[in-house]
């Protein structure tokens, strides 16, 4: 009986020790609860942390102007921007959104070739991912004013939260 008790104690000690060791390791990733926004129209999903429960989404428009149109008088092309809003956002306390620009592959190729520009930034949007129809990009300088929550959005983006599929 003492031998069985001793074996049980040793096994428990080994398991507890392994858990404590692994919990302190920087290589161990403990999965967090996640929320997933799915956009079937454009063919992507975006994983958000549990703290974003209650997020909202709006779809706005980006406009591209010809290279010689620095004032943005005449639209060359346009497309949607899907903005995922932090649930803490209010008109008094604006939080950093996650803006996802949607380009057709042809538009992306034209932008890359310098056939149009978006805004006054000296750089193009940065590609997040693409499927067979669309390119998803983050606007240049999207967090330029450092609104509340921009650090959290940067951390979310480091996790490569966008996944693509063929749109319906």
Least confident stretch, 17-21, 71-75, 81-85 = 17-21
Alpha helices in the chain, H assignment, sequence order = 2-24, 105-112, 150-158
Per-residue pLDDT reduced to its tens digit, 6-65: 343 333 333 333 333 333 433 333 345 789 999 999 999 999 999 999 999 999 999 998
pLDDT per residue as tens digits for the range 126-139 = 999 999 999 999 99
The better pLDDT of the pair 67, 153 is held by 153
Mean pLDDT of the chain: 81
Is residue 113 over pLDDT 70?
yes
Residues 41, 62: Cα–Cα separation, whole Å: 17
Kindly indicate the confidence band of residue 108, based on its pLDDT and cuts at 50, 70 and 90: very high
Q: Which two tokens mark 61?
A: 């428009």
Per-residue pLDDT, averaged over 149-162, amounts to 92
The count of other CB atoms within 10 Å of the CB of residue 162 is 18
CB 41 within 8 A of CB 167: yes
Token pair 């056939």: residue: 115
Q: What is the rounded CA–CA span in Å between residue 134 and residue 100?
A: 12
């Amino acid at each position: 009986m003492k031998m069985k008790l001793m074996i049980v104690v040793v096994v428990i000690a080994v398991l507890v020790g392994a858990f404590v060791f692994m919990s302190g390791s920087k290589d161990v990733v403990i999965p967090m609860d996640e929320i997933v926004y799915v956009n079937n129209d454009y063919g992507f999903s975006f994983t958000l942390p549990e703290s974003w429960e209650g997020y909202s989404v709006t779809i706005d428009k980006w406009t591209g102007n010809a290279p010689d149109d620095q004032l943005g008088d005449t639209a060359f092309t346009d497309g949607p921007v899907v903005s995922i809003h932090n649930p803490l956002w209010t008109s008094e306390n604006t939080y950093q959104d996650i803006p996802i620009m949607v380009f057709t592959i042809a538009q992306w190729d034209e932008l890359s070739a310098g056939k149009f520009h978006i805004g006054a930034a000296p750089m193009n949007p940065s590609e997040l991912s693409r499927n067979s129809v669309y390119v998803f990009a983050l606007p240049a300088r999207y967090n330029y004013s450092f609104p509340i929550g921009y650090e959290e959005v940067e951390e979310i983006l480091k996790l490569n939260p966008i996944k693509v599929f063929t749109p319906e």
